[in-house]
Homo-oligomer: A and B are copies of this chain.
């Protein structure tokens, strides 16, 4: 941490700041310049709140030097993390992995029909929601455990891994037998109670960026999971809130190359939630892969017009197939392949 004193800071103020830093367990180096004094403080706990120094008299600015995350940093595992599954699928490796499926599981027919379509088109993971807490208590709330069973059956039948969103600690044991990857949604990115429990599991977690979360905050939440012992974390961009109103959120494609540089973790993108409009899903899915994403999470429905939720952002099976063809052309441009 670097503490730049104000130009007019008194010797007494400088001394008090130094004493405070030492009391907090820092080792302090003082550099007295012609214009101002700068203090270097080494050895802070990661959770140290820099504002505690900023409010001291005579302090100009405080800069944290060492990044507040360690385990997720690229330097921790320069070669990159590859999350491997029993069926041979790897996320974060040379192959681009596409996860596809409906927003909500609605029936056996529906999930089997979608699973067949996306599997044939080249998807490797089946996505689908089992729990749907909706803003209206009268809306469809999801099929719960029945949805998980159906996803598992469909996944097994069509050779797909299964991912579904976990929203509460109580759902973890319920979901464990059915899913291959836990998904943590944007609203729960900073639900530290939930992250703590998922950190104890030995099953991959896909962590979505919150709509108001900075990239650093996304990495800090991943750090929290890894600190618990779960090292198989997959990150996912899904749009941030900006002043632009044409789309619900602005999908931050630049987060993809940034995360790939800062961290060793795989980074996916969700163009369905990132845009909210069916006709924007394919362009943004292509853009994400072209920017270096390790895969996509895409909503596909066998009959979007009849979907219980998010039909407007779900691709028709034939649109998904077309998108997969386009991605196969793009993959070589980023030195990747898509089965």
Contacts and interface: CB of A to CB of B under 8 A. Distances in A.
Interface of A: 2, 4, 6-8, 29, 31, 33-36, 38, 40, 42, 45-47, 49, 51-52, 54-55, 60-61, 63, 65-67, 75, 78, 133-139, 167-168, 187, 190-193, 196, 210-212, 214-216, 220-221, 224, 227-228, 240-247, 250-258, 261, 274-280, 283-284, 286-292, 305, 309-313, 326-327, 329-330, 332-334
A221 to B, nearest CB: 8
B75 A8 contact: yes
Contacts of A276: 51
A334 B286 contact: yes
Contacts of A215: 244, 246
Contacts of A42: 33-34
Given A245-B245, A253-B287, A329-B332, A65 B61 contact: yes
A330 to B, nearest CB: 5
Nearest to A313: B51
A46 to B, nearest CB: 6
A65 B47 contact: no
A255 B244 CA distance: 9
Contact of A138 (B45, B247, B252): B45
Contact of A65 (B8, B38, B289, B311): B38
Contact of A137 (B224, B255, B311): B224
